[in-house]
Amino acid sequence: MGVDVPTKISGFCRHLGDESLSALVRQKKMEAVYQRVRSALESGRIDDQLEADLDTINSMVLDFTGYSLISSTRTYSPLPGAPRSTGAQWWSCPRERCVGRGRVKAGEAAPICGISGEPLAQKPLSR
């Protein structure tokens, strides 16, 4: 099963501002690819080129560190007869471009989107 583009975007965005990613991009001379990803996300352009560039960045990180930028995300499938919603909240992209960034914990300040600069939104964990 392949990874969808919103999950790939979340993996990339989660590491924005991480100096080790920026340093690796410079070391591997991947600045142009990195900038294309940022520009595409800033403009809202979600297309095949963006996915290819996200895959290139992820492959570079995986080859160098042994770890992927892309991590599995939440899933929820209720048992028959159980409520469709868990009541849990998930930090979600304010512009609906990615799958978000983790479960909301009580009293936690909203993380900031590395692309838009907007706080992530609390939404129900419904799938």
Higher pLDDT, 100 or 68: 68
Structure confidence by residue, pLDDT tens digits, 32-91: 999 999 999 999 999 999 999 999 999 999 999 998 988 755 555 666 776 666 677 888
Q: In this predicted structure, what is the pLDDT of residue 88?
A: 76
pLDDT at position 76 is 57
- What was the pLDDT predicted at 55? 96
Is the pLDDT at 1 greater than 70? The verdict is: no
Query: 123 to each of 9, 25, 53, 106, how far by Cα in Å?
Result: 18, 33, 28, 14
In whole numbers, what is the pLDDT of the chain averaged over residues?
85
Token duo for residue 113:
């989107």
Q: Give pLDDT tens digits for 43-60.
A: 999 999 999 999 999 999
How large is the angle between the packed helices 31-43 and 48-65, nearest 10 degrees? 140
Query: Please, where are the H alpha helices in 1-127?
Result: 5-14, 19-27, 31-43, 48-65
* pLDDT higher than threshold 90 for residue 94: no
pLDDT score for 41: 93
CB atoms within 10 A of CB 96: 12
Beta bridge partners of 89: 124
Structure tokens at 81: 């007869």
Gap between the Cα atoms of 75 and 78, Å rounded: 10
